[in-house]
Amino acid sequence: MKVLVGILVFGAVLGGLSSLGIIGASSSPLGTQEIQRLTSLPLEPIHQSMSVRQAYRAIPHNQQTFRLSQSVLQKTEAKYLDQAFALVDLAVVERVSLLRTVQREGNRSLPLNNYEQILKRFLAISVPPRLVYFHQQVAAAIREEHAYYEGLQKQPSVTTVDRSHPLIQRLHRRLWASYQFLVSEYPQESPNNQQAFFEHLCALDFI
């Protein structure tokens, strides 16, 4: 039921994007040089100012765990999604904690190091062939989120996020295309995990 409600709530958005030729159209993911740069970074600990649970509560948003024990997917695909969504959760924490910093303290001193460490780990996951598109789009969305905050830090005093900004609009399109891809590729997946598809990608989105 929750999945159905989510689809209905965002159906107009998806339909509008499809009519504009955005959903389903080719869109450039991370470039080769950027991937090489990220993967060559030294592995460092990720220190975050709040837990995943706190971040979901702060949005507020439902937190739904992808459960390997309930998956009917091939083992390699289910394992990949389990690992990918764990890292998406860390990116959600970054999005929410930085948003709170902007709202409370402005945009002049944003700690941005964690995004690259999250991406380094995300790019290191072994990706099943069927999920390459999903992997590329989510990685690009996380990088665009990072790029938005990098740009925000260079602006005069700001205490809000501009949801009409091209980067936010672009990562929004990527995340919804990724969700649409998962539900179309895996309609037989368990209800819990179908809901997890929705909740993780929606929580990462600004819109």
Number of domains within the chain:
1
pLDDT confidence bin for 3, thresholds 50/70/90: very low
The pLDDT of residue 190 = 97
The pLDDT of residue 22 = 36
Q: Is the pLDDT of residue 72 over 70?
A: yes
Average pLDDT rounded to a whole number, residues 115-144: 97
Domain that holds residue 17: 2-204
Pick the more confident residue, 3 or 36: 36
> pTM value?
0.85
pLDDT in tens, 33-65: 999 999 999 999 999 999 999 999 999 899 999
How far apart are alpha carbons 48 and 50 in whole angstroms? Answer: 6
